[in-house]
Amino acid sequence: MEEKELYENIIEEQTEFVCRFNSDWKYSYVNNAFCRYFGKDREELIGNTFKPLMSKEDQENIAIKFDSLSPENPVVSFRERTITPEGEGRWQSWNTRAFYDKDGKVAQYQSVGRDITDIIKSEESLSNVNEKLKLLSSITRHDILNQITTISVYEELLKSHTGNDTKATGFIEEMIDSTRRIEEQITFTRDYQDLGFESPVWQNIETLAGAAVIPTVARLADVDIDTGRLEVFADPMLEKVFMNLFDNSIRHGEDVTAIRVSSRDEGDHAVIVFEDNGAGVPEDMKNKIFNHGVGSHTGFGLFLVREILDITGTSIIETGEYGKGARFEIIVPEGSYRFGKGGQKA
């Protein structure tokens, strides 16, 4: 058996649809799977023009995909929804390669596709379920927070009526602290629910970190942000990373008066450094502080920081010296950082 014949036999046995056609959509080859799927005989297709039925919008989108092909970028992938001979709408995934002649013009296209209708339906069902769960969580969270607000008001009123009863005041303070923790935990569920909900985007670190400096932080510490034009490809919730790091310094740093955010380029990765002049982190806690539930408050802040960064493969470690201040290093992998126009590497 000749090599060409062996190759064609292999293609004919594939469940994927394989076809070759020119710019006029006249076919020079179709395999059995293609014919079965579109309800056509091979003789009907070879040498003739054939386009599966589809919406005008899909036709326009595919035309744009084909127009994007070039000798330098000859391959394109896309999804399309076609109407079968039985009138059923079904989805396919296609990988198409353009072959060019010596003058740089398209000689022919070769496409390989498969039916992904069940995958699309599963994705849509999962998306609908997630949307409903998100709505339910949002409504429940809103109602709980309203009740917490009411409880907080009554706690403060009760505290104002205890007079000099220090024992009763102490109990009420514990109640107020527990209520605050519950509120923070409920708020955390909102933040964690939104993780990865939107696609990552490029974000300028200097702008982002600057926006994360709340008035309380600015009042208590001198903040120096020097990351130049460094941009990071990360989840849109990246600002919360810096908000939590600033909050962590003020809450746990014990009289922090200076916070600095800087960066450096290591060639195959970038490092964003967040450091303060506070108490620092004990050696035996450096690997634990990012775990859920660790900390003197809710224990969610640094856990959320790590989770947000992990979405795009970015990591964080604590490298400070205990007694001299905390130092967090955010390690951004190659491909996930860049320097804006006119910027220089740190």
Each residue's pLDDT tens digit, 306-336: 988 998 899 999 999 999 999 999 999 999 9
pLDDT tens profile 147-179? 888 988 888 888 888 878 888 888 888 888 888
Which CATH entry fits the domain spanning 3-115: 3.30.1130.10, 3.40.50.1980, 3.40.50.2300, 3.30.450.20?
A: 3.30.450.20
CATH number listed for the domain at residues 201-339:
3.30.565.10
Share of the chain above pLDDT 70, in %: 90
- The predicted pLDDT at position 132 comes to 78
Give Cα 237 to chain centroid, integer Å. 9
HEC per residue, the chain: CCHHHHHHHHHHCCCCEEEEECCCCEEEEECHHHHHHHCCCHHHHECCECCCEECHHHHHHHHHHHHCCCCCCCEEEEEEEEECCCCCEEEEEEEEEEEECCCCCEEEEEEEEEECHHHHHHHHHHHHHHHHHHHHHHHHHHHHHHHHHHHHHHHHHHHHCCCCCHHHHHHHHHHHHHHHHHHHHHHHHHHHHCCCCCCCEEEEHHHHHHHCCCHHHHHHCEEEEECCCEEEEECCCHHHHHHHHHHHHHHHCCCCCEEEEEEEECCCEEEEEEEECCCCCCHHHCCCCCCCCCCCCCCCHHHHHHHHHHCCCCEEEECCCCCCCCEEEEEEECCCEEECCCCCCC
96, 19 Cβ separation under 8 angstroms: no
Looking at per-residue confidence, does 299 or 54 come out higher?
Answer: 54
- Count CB atoms within 10 A of the CB of residue 260: 17
Tokens 């933040």 identify what position? 191
Using CA atoms, how far residue 107 sits from 51, 95, 101, 102, in Å, is 18, 17, 6, 9
Percent pLDDT > 90 in the chain is 46
Instruction: Read off the pLDDT of residues 192-231 as tens digits, 9 standing for 90 and up.
Output: 666 666 788 999 999 999 999 988 888 999 999 999 999 9
Q: Which of 12-16, 206-210, 341-345 has the highest mean pLDDT?
A: 206-210
pLDDT of residue 272: 97
How does the average pLDDT of the chain come out, rounded? 86
| pLDDT for the residue 5 | 61
In angstroms, rounded to a whole number, what is the distance separating the alpha carbons of residues 80 and 92? Answer: 6
pLDDT at 138 > cutoff 90? no
Q: What is the pLDDT of residue 55?
A: 83
Whole-angstrom CA distances from 182 to 100, 270, 334, 343 are 64, 37, 39, 44
pLDDT at residue 40 tops 60: yes
**141 confidence band (pLDDT: 50, 70, 90):** confident
| Residue 76 banded pLDDT, cuts 50, 70, 90 | very high
Higher pLDDT, 216 or 91: 91
